[in-house]
Amino acid sequence: MQKKHYASATPPILSARDRIGKVIKYGQKGYGIFMKKTRQILCAALAAMMTLSIASCGTTETSGGNKIEKITVWSNAAGTKDVLEKLVQEYNENEGKEKGIMIEYTVHGGDYAQTLDMAFANDRAPDMMNIQGERRNYVDKGYLMPIDDLPGMDEFLAKYDEETLTRFAVDGRIYSVPTQVTAVGLIYNKDLFKKAGIVDENGEAKPPRTWAEMVDAAKKITDVPNKVYGIALPMKWGGYWSWDFQKPMFSATGKYTYDHANDVYDYSLYKEPLEYLLQIKEDKSFYPGPEGLDNDPARAQFAEGFVGMKFAASWDVSVLTNQFPAKCDWGVAPVPAINEEAIGKYYYESADECALDVSSKAREKDPEKISEVYRFFNSDEVLTRLYEEGCIIPYRSECITNATKISDAKGWVEFGEIATKSKAVQGWVSLKLEGESDKDALNKVWYGTMTVDEFIADRNKIWNDAYQKALAEGTVERLEEYKALPAELFNREIH
């Protein structure tokens, strides 16, 4: 198969046939996605677990005289677990058996990032997986293979527009495609809001519209004697600072860490959100032990009715319906604005993600079968089914229009409405930072070893130093797309 190479800045235009997944471009390419419809255990124990689950990854089995090759797939998407397990079982028993394929699908919990790192380090990676962190880091270590290396991918990739493929490419090679759009909102316990007197004129639970109201509501709801707390902060979860803080912060402030108007990194947007977070800490209105609280236990406590609020993603609808069926009356509200003046002014920050990548280890297996499994997980049939069951909002809109039903799961419609007012920031660049990560620095702020102002000054220096160094060395990818992002890119009134 002839390989297609996509230059980072100016990729060739692909066929527009079958192009779907509604993308709104603000100015030049590289902006948002906008859908109109509706993530420690001990090392010894971890190693033992991995040995049991991965030992046979490279083996083949025989059934009825046909060779069956096992293709291993890892994910940390708990929200799609039940439905995908059923679809994988159906595939294995029918089409997979005919084609000599057996998919071994495993969904990991909150330790997934560590599990994945250890698997790669010990040459025991699965054939496909949802990676954690920047794709380039995996590529530079030789962990991934481009999917445009696989047979039969030309027609498959033709269904995605040029911009999308560019964002999922590294050094001109395509490594993945997005499966879904994830909307972010605030889930809240209506029962606890009513009990605390946080209601509207009709006596219905009234979710906070600003961060100040959110902090105040958390304090009012907290009832320590009855083990009820205002908000859950699952800081043990590897995705906490990204999903439960940064994305809500971008939505609340309408700003981003990169100031596109002045071509400089500016972390001052963190000041008010961090101060509100520290106020919650001072009020002791959070579920106890956030440093040791993972996302699954946090969601379980919310489902049991002991937590008033939690930032959540559209995948949590399935979690609160199937994995931890909620015992309380709960709702979904948009991310609160940073202040009253910002209410309704900005788009909500979303993500197009949950993409599968293929490990380099998969080269040891039949490439036709690897390609077949990759296309199965990204097929219209699978994604449409996940949408119908209230698990995901597909990236490609045809998977929505093909649906024969819309899930009646609590919260699904509300998250869908948020998705229509959301967009994902595109035009990311990869910079090599000389210093600690944002996550480590944010943890210092929470623990009190770094002030908010010190955090802002430290981040501004680290990111701008790295940016200027990369500019001087000419190593900034997609620079023109990145700089083309407009000022106030989240402002609905402008864009």
More confident residue, 80 or 33: 80
In this model, does residue 55 exceed pLDDT 60?
no
pLDDT one-digit tens code per residue, 260-294 = 778 889 999 999 999 999 999 999 999 999 999 99
Beta strands 66-75 and 128-129: pairing type? Answer: parallel
Residues 6+ apart with CB under 8 A from 252: 211, 273, 335, 336, 337, 338, 342, 346
More confident residue, 423 or 391: 391
CB 336 within 8 A of CB 209: yes
CA 224 to chain centre: 32
**23-182+352-423 classified as CATH 3.40.190.10:** yes
Domain boundaries, the chain: 23-182+352-423, 198-349
Cβ atoms within 10 Å of 156's Cβ, excluding its own: 18
CB 232 within 8 A of CB 287: yes
Q: How far apart are CA 24 and CA 30, in angstroms?
A: 10
What's the mean pLDDT in 369-398?
92
What's the mean pLDDT in 384-399?
87
pLDDT one-digit tens code per residue, 109-122 = 878 888 999 999 99
Q: How far apart are CA 283 and CA 103, in angstroms?
A: 49
What's the mean pLDDT in 217-221?
98
In this model, does residue 22 exceed pLDDT 80?
no
pTM for the predicted model, two decimal places = 0.70
Q: Which residues pair with 67 in a beta bridge?
A: 62
Per CATH, 23-182+352-423 and 198-349 having the same topology is answered yes
More confident residue, 241 or 425: 241
pLDDT reported for residue 332: 97
Q: How far apart are CA 400 and CA 394, in angstroms?
A: 7
pLDDT reported for residue 126: 97
pLDDT reported for residue 416: 84
CB 410 within 8 A of CB 320: yes
Tell me the CATH number for domain 198-349: 3.40.190.10
Average pLDDT, the chain: 83
Minimum mean pLDDT among 44-53, 55-64, 391-400: which range? 44-53
What's the mean pLDDT in 37-60?
41
In this model, does residue 342 exceed pLDDT 50?
yes
In this model, does residue 316 exceed pLDDT 50?
yes
